[in-house]
Amino acid sequence: MQRYFANIDNNYFVHLNPDDEHHVSHVMRMKKNDEIEVVNEGKVFLCRIEDFNPLRIVAIHEMENDVELKEDITLLFALTKGDKIDLVIQKATELGVKKVALIESERTVVTYQDKDQEKKLARFNRIMKEASEQSHRLVVPTLLGIYNLKRLPKEAFSDLNYVAYEKDAHDTDSIFSKVTKGKSVSILIGPEGGFSEQEIARLVEQGFIRTSLGKRILRAETAAIYALSVLGYILEK
Ligand code: SAH
């Protein structure tokens, strides 16, 4: 069933945003009495379309739903070229991430001008909302923003903080070795050029734990998807 994030008022009326109204009426070409799922404040409701022009959708009852990872996962992803971030943000959402921050480091080659930044962040938020709907999640991940590696915000840190370091690739025993149920996890992935040794030393001083992501060197976007898949496996099994 199609799922949307929307507000449900005290009279059980559903208020979709204009893009989603368009989606219901003109993309999905729904009919009267068709049903949709609506997520409001972390709860999912079965809703029925009662009328068009104007669109009237009513919540019928709350549905059972338990798809979120119990432990919060935060992805810290270095700014990479082109539309890789679009891909990573979409896949990270499907894989259950709760927070994402984009990171500038010594070897990142991409920077956004201020004007651009707002547009990009709005685009990333839209991608996360659509991916959350598609993967039937109850929350849209939070995009923390863009930060320099030297000035990570408090919200970027979890109970366990990992940095994926390409020079540890062979040390496969290190792969998320301390991750257990009940602990939140942050994972930091470097840019195309990797991390410098000073950066790694500074991160370790701050409490980051180095991890391999397997013996092969992955592209940054694959590394993010791999890391989140492994974390999901450990935490959900
Ligand atoms: N240019 C570097 C590779 C960078 S890969 C080199 O050739 O060595 C981009 C990022 O993905 C890395 O900074 C790291 O965070 C992550 N990564 C990729 N493969 C990895 C692996 N096998 N183990 C740990 N981290 C990895």
The pLDDT tens digits of the residues spanning 176-221 come to 999 999 999 999 999 999 999 999 999 999 999 999 999 999 999 9
Residue 2, class by beta-carbon neighbours within 10 Å (0-12 exposed, 13-18 middle, 19+ buried)?
Answer: middle
3-state SS assignment for residue 22: helix
Tokens of 74: 């935060």
Tokens of 77: 């992803």
pTM of structure: 0.91
Q: What is the CA(180)–ligand 1 centre distance, in A?
A: 24
Residue with tokens 């068009």: 52
- Ligand 1 contacts (CB < 6 A) are 164-166, 168-169, 189-190, 193-195, 212-214, 216-218, 220, 223
List 146's β-bridge partners, or say none.
102
Q: How far apart are CA 90 and CA 86, in angstroms?
A: 6
Alpha carbons 100 and 219: distance in angstroms, whole number? 18
In this predicted structure, the answer to whether residue 66 has a pLDDT above a threshold of 90 is: no
126-184 pLDDT per residue, tens: 999 999 999 999 999 999 999 999 999 999 999 999 999 999 999 999 999 999 999 99
Q: Which of 106, 110, 117, 177 is nearest to 148 (CA)?
A: 106
Ligand 1 binding pocket mutation candidate from 217, 219, 226, 228 (most atoms within 8 A of CB): 217
